[in-house]
Amino acid sequence: MLKGSGKKMVKRSRRTKLDTVKDSPAHFVPLAVIINDYEASLFGYMRANNANDVVVTMPVTIDVTNEGKQKFFVAVAVTTRFEGPEALSDEIQRSAPKGHTPLFAWVPANLYNSKEFGVFIDEARIGEVLKNGLVNEIIEQAAVEETVVSLNR
C-alpha cells in the first residue's frame, strides 16, 4: 500500500499501447481510420466521438535519397484543451512502433486567429523538406485546416 493513501498499488509488468491510449485524455487514431470511416474529415471524427483532442498517426516507409528506406511514425495532434504539446509528444516517442523514427507536430486549434497560433513540429534528425512533407501529408489527408476553422465557429 502507498503510505497514507489507503489504496493498493497495482503492479503491471508491461503497459500495452491499448492501455496507454485508454488512459490518455486525447484520442489516438490512425490516418486510415479518418480517411476510410470519416470521409477524410478529422472534424467528422471529433464530432462523432465527442473528442476535443485528437492525435492522428501514420506509420510510413520512405525511400530517402542517399539514406535508403527509412521508417517514420508521424503524428499530428489537433487540440483544444492542451496548454503545451509535451505530454502528447512524449507519448508518441513511447508508442512509436519498433524501428520507426517518431515525428510529432502540434496544432493548438484553440489558438486559431491569434498570434500564438501555428503548427509546431518537434525537432527531428531529418531534412526540413522531408519533415514538413510528412506532417503535411496528415494535414492534407485528414483535412486539418478545415477542422481548425470548424472548431472555431
Terminal Cα-to-Cα distance of the chain (whole angstroms)? 49
What is the Cα 120 distance to its own chain's centre? 12
In a domain, 32, yes or no: yes
In a domain, 86, yes or no: yes
Q: Please state the domain count of the chain.
A: 1
Cell matching residue 38: 470519416
What SS3 class is residue 14? coil
- Other CB atoms within a 10 A radius of the CB of residue 140 amount to 11
In a domain, 121, yes or no: yes
In a domain, 59, yes or no: yes
| Mean pLDDT score, 65-87 | 94
In the predicted model, is pLDDT for residue 22 greater than 60?
A: no
User: Is residue 52 a contact partner of residue 80, using CB atoms and an 8 Å limit?
Assistant: yes
Q: What was the pLDDT predicted at 64?
A: 86
| Mean pLDDT score, 104-124 | 96
- Could you say which DSSP state residue 104 is in? E
In terms of phi and psi (left: phi > 0; alpha: psi -120 to 50; beta: otherwise), the region of 40 is left
In a domain, 20, yes or no: no
What SS3 class is residue 76? strand
pLDDT tens for each residue of 35-53: 999 999 999 999 999 999 9
Instruction: Read off the pTM.
Output: 0.83
In a domain, 6, yes or no: no
In a domain, 57, yes or no: yes
Q: Whole domain around residue 58: which residue ranges?
A: 25-151
In a domain, 144, yes or no: yes
